[in-house]
Each structure stands twice: as structure tokens, then as C-alpha cells.
Amino acid sequence: MTSGKRQSRTMQFTLFAMIIPSLALILLFSYYPAIRSLVGSLTFWNGFDPPQFIGLQNFIAYFQMPGFGAQIRNLALLLLGGIVTLMVFPFLGAELTQSVPWMRVRRYVQWLFAVPMVVPQVILVAVWGYLLNPYDGVVDQMLSLFRVPPIQWLGNSHTALISILLIGFPWVTSLAYLVFLSGLQAIPQDIYEAARVDGSTGLERIWHLDVPLIIPQLRFVIIITGITMVQNFVPILLLTSGGPGNATAVPGLEMYQAAFSNSQFGFGMAIGTLLFLFMLVISILTLKFLKPQT
């Protein structure tokens, strides 16, 4: 008995030890940098000399910089746009896929919508940058058939942000598509039968039945959409670098340029911290107010 108990204790110790290497990896390469960022946001640091503690001055400097208002406005617009491009269209795509009457065709449709997910973002950006260019861009050439004069998509401050959102049109292909689809596929068929007997139409069914039943997936997609829009400034970096003027400037890009162009490491970490706090609030609100129905 005692030996059995001791054996079990060694076993538990072995199992705990198996966690350690992986845990060390995330503590060292995820948590340590995260904490360092939170602390470093309170310092003045150029990356070489020892950091100096300056309290909240980085944050104050950021709030007072000339481009701050434009950056927040653009981020807000991107988040609004993200609701359409990263949530509504993938959801509609998933609903349409589920409405395809033949199982076999449905699987092909899912496959076709899923594959372009893995196309590297730089390629998508290159292709859309090309399609939207004002010299021989295909979008303008198409529009000229309808006598629309050429639009300087990325070069005009009114259309630049829209052009960034346009990348990936018609926006069905995304993580959210597969997530919503799996949620819809898990809804038991007899619930649909009951709804049909009640005589509810397609749209009513989607709103009153599908949406409440995929709340777990919806929570995930909302958080992912927020994170994507907050952190993904690569298309902006490659296509407009925040311009023209401040038309596509966003906090993430400001952070990147502060650190890697201007050696303002403390300032950059302050912006990183703000973005983290913003996403933390969004995540907590989502998880608190959007509860799965039991």
C-alpha cells in the first residue's frame, strides 16, 4: 500500500516534470516579454542605454501626438469594417454552404472556401495592391466600362482605408468561416424540423435559431476579429505606410515604427500595452455578456 502510494507520487512528479520544458518555453518567450512590455511602457528607453523610469509620460506623449486622433479613428473604422469582413461575410458564407442541398457538393464548397486561407498575406497584399493601382489596375479598368473615372484607391485619403479593407473581397475565406460552419453543422437536425413545422422563414430561422446556438463560436470570432484588426498592420505597412497623410495610420504601425525606425522602445511598448489593455477589455466584455444558452 505504502509502496503503491509512493509509486503514485513519483508518477505525479514525472507527469508534472513533463510539463516543465514547454512551460519554460512560454514563460521565457511569451510571459517574460509580455511583462517586460508592461513595465517597459513606464520607461524612457532607446534600446541601448539603461531604461529610465518616467511614469506615464509615454502614454501622455502618445495621447498628445498629432496623429493620435487619426490613428484611433482609423482603428475604430477598421474594427467596424472587420465586423463586416471578418464576421458577417464568413457567417453568410457558412450559412450558404450549409444550405447547399447535396452533401457531396457541400464538402467541395467548404474545401474551395477554405483553401485560400493559407495563401500568405504578402501575396494577397501584392495582388490587391496591383488590382487597385491607378495605372493599369484591373478594378479601375472594370469600372471604366461603366464610365467611372479612375480612382486613386490607395493614393487618396478618402479611399485608402477602404482599399485596405477591400483586400480579400468577398471575405468569405477566413478562420471565422470554418468556425461558424462547424458550429452550424453541430446543430441537431430535429431543431430545424421543429422550426420548419412552425413555418418560420429562412431569415427568421437564422436570427432566432442559428445565431443563439453558435454563441460559443461567435465569442471566439469576436475576440479573434478584435485581435486581428488591432495587431495586423502588415497590409498597411506594405501598401501605404500609414499614408497618404495619416489616412491609414494605426496604433500598431506607430508602435512598429517607434521601435524599429526611431529606437523609441519605451514609447513603442506603451502603445503595445494600450492595445493589450483594449483587447483585454473587449475579451472580458465578450465573455461576460455573451453567454452560451443552456
Closest distance to another protein from the beta carbon of 208 (Å): 19
Q: What torsion, rounded to 10 degrees, do the Cα atoms 250, 72, 226, 232 define?
A: 0
Which residue lies nearer to another protein by CB, 161 or 269?
A: 269
| Residue 163 backbone phi and psi in degrees, to 5 | -60, -40
CB-nearer residue toward another protein: 32 or 53:
32
Q: How far is the CB of 23 from another protein (least distance, A)?
A: 7
Residue placing its CB nearer to another protein in the complex, 77 or 114: 114
Q: Which is nearer to another protein, 52 or 99 (CB)?
A: 99
Contact between 240 and 164 (Cβ < 8 Å): yes
Got the DSSP string for 42-85?
TEE--SSSPPEE-TTHHHHHHHHSTTHHHHHHHHHHHHHHHIII
Q: Specify the residue, 121 or 245, whose C-beta has the smaller distance to another protein.
A: 121
- CB 192 to another protein: min, Å: 14
User: For residues 294 and 54, what is the distance between their CA atoms, to the nearest angstrom?
Assistant: 49
**By CB neighbour count within 10 A (0-12 exposed, 13-18 middle, 19+ buried), where does 59 fall?**
middle
Distance CA(190)–CA(192), nearest Å, equals: 5
At what angle are helices 138-145 and 121-131 packed, to 10 degrees?
Answer: 40
Q: How far is the CB of 201 from another protein (least distance, A)?
A: 11
Closest approach of another protein to the CB of residue 265, in Å: 6
Using the minimum distance from each CB to another protein, give the nearer residue, 98 or 157.
98
How far is the C-alpha of 57 from the C-alpha of 60, rounded, in Å?
Answer: 5
Q: Which residue has 472594370 as its cell numbers?
A: 142
Q: Whose Cβ is closer to another protein: residue 13's or residue 207's?
A: 13
Measured from the CB atom, the residue of 47 and 212 that comes closer to another protein is: 47
CB atoms within 10 A of CB 186: 11
The CB-of-39 to another protein minimum distance in angstroms stands at 9
Q: How far is the CB of 263 from another protein (least distance, A)?
A: 11
Q: How far from 77 is each of 51, 170, 195, 231, 247, CA to CA, in Å? A: 35, 18, 37, 14, 11
* 76, three cell numbers: 475604430
Give the residue carrying C-alpha cell 477566413: 174
Tallying the residues shown for the chain, one arrives at: 294
Residue 286 CB, nearest distance to another protein (Å)? 8
How far apart CA 102 and CA 105 sit, in angstroms, is 5
